[in-house]
Amino acid sequence: MLSNWIFIPGTIAQDAFRLIQDIQNGTLDDVIRIHENLCTVVFNTVSAYSVWFVLHWFTYGAGVVVAVIYFSEEVALSVKLHTPSLLLVFHGLTFVCLLYLFVFPSFCASRITSSCAGIYERINRTTSDDWNEGHPFRDRRNIALFISYAKERRCGFQVGRITFDTSLTWVSFLIGLTALLFHFL
């Protein structure tokens, strides 16, 4: 059902939610099948990037360490040569490159996870009046069972057992930013 879709994180999650809403006289298993199809598409799409993502983060860490070391030597050299404007441009470009090239992919990965989690969060905010007659979610217990299943399923961007969500992205960003700020202070 979902396997023929082009992968756009927000769109595919919205379509999965729409399919769940449109179930007529179905069971909880029908809802779980739709969610499983979504997770299969997500995992099949992002699994190709797992090795790249691991290498990417090692490169990010090495890039931050090298930038801090290089900045320390450049500051000492620029004070001797009196070229602070060129050094400021270099620092700005390095900072932008580290943010864009290394942190931006994490934000994209966390967006995938957030879109998938948005399905069960939206469902959790509903009442039985929000569902058609005959829908399995007219019974609130089925919503609780689905939410429990969906949280344990952890559909999203994963590398190994690590799920990339917004908190991991912010922690990574702040570690890199702290290393750069440590140099300037």
Q: What three-state secondary structure class fits 159?
A: strand
| pLDDT digits 0-9 by tens, 135-156 | 999 998 999 999 999 988 888 7
Task: Return contacts of 136-144, CB within 8 angstroms, 24+ apart.
Answer: 136/23, 136/26, 136/27, 136/28, 136/30, 136/31, 137/31, 142/28, 142/31
pTM for the predicted model, two decimal places? 0.66
Q: Considering just the CA atoms, what is the radius of gyration of the chain in Å?
A: 23
Domain map of the chain by residue range?
Answer: 9-184
Gap between the Cα atoms of 2 and 15, Å rounded = 9
| 172 confidence band (pLDDT: 50, 70, 90) | low
| pLDDT digits 0-9 by tens, 18-70 | 999 999 888 999 999 999 998 888 888 777 777 777 777 777 777 777 766 76
